[in-house]
Chain A
Amino acid sequence: EAGVTQFPSHSVIEKGQTVTLRCDPISGHDNLYWYRRVMGKEIKFLLHFVKESKQDESGMPNNRFLAERTGGTYSTLKVQPAELEDSGVYFCASSQMMNTEAFFGQGTRLTVV
């Protein structure tokens, strides 16, 4: 069974540009989470989908970030326009049920220059 996959693995963009990150959760997992880790700091929660619905987006930094989950399958996280402080590693995780183990993807390393 495939795990959580994220694309791209790395992205380098200029300040002001747009970037879209994609996450494919484990098949059948209704819960999908986005996290971000800035260098040397904790893994911070961004938002949580249950199927196609946003259950909790309290961690989204600002309105430059937009997450979607089409049909409750894969999810995208778009940053528009990107700023320098958006650099970091963006992780996606999925779980079958809430309060169970969340499986993580390998992350997308975003560098804004």
Chain B
Amino acid sequence: GESVGLHLPTLSVQEGDNSIINCAYSNSASDYFIWYKQESGKGPQFIIDIRSNMDKRQGQRVTVLLNKTVKHLSLQIAATQPGDSAVYFCAEIPASYIPTFGRGTSLIVHP
């Protein structure tokens, strides 16, 4: 069935390195995607979004890439900091408009 999934459940990086978190989706009807960051004890927080008419969008230290051909989404974090440690979720918004989440990737930043 349709699904949103993540390739790596845990990603460990050194402070200052760049991080890349990947997400695969299979619902070709989705035209809106969001990356959320969830810190311990908090709810998911919006990081960046992208619509299907774009293939790249940049924010402050974060970049989202969308490859519709292979149905792949990635979140790049530049100069990763300890404060970036969290669980990252990608969410797709299909035609039903219900945000659908994958399992999440835990990012661990070592000082």
Contact = CB atoms under 8 A, between A and B. Distances in A.
Q: Decide whether A and B are members of one complex.
A: yes
Interface of A: 4, 6, 33, 35, 41-45, 48, 56, 91, 93, 98-99, 101-107
**A interface secondary structure, majority:** strand
B44 A45 contact: no
A101 B43 contact: no
Q: Top 9 closest A-B pairs, CB basis?
A: A104-B43, A98-B97, A43-B101, A42-B103, A104-B44, A106-B43, A107-B43, A105-B43, A99-B97
Contacts of B28: none
A43 B98 contact: no
Nearest to B42: A106
B103 A104 contact: no
- The residue among A93, A98, A99 with the most chain B CB atoms within 10 A of its own CB is A99
B99 interface: yes
B43 A91 contact: yes
- The residue among B34, B36, B44 with the most chain A CB atoms within 10 A of its own CB is B44
A4 B104 CA distance: 22
A4 B46 CA distance: 13
Nearest to A101: B46
A101 B49 CA distance: 8
B99 A93 contact: yes
Contacts of B36: 104
A108 B43 CA distance: 9
B74 interface: no
A43 B44 contact: yes
B41 interface: yes
Nearest to A56: B98
A42 B102 contact: yes
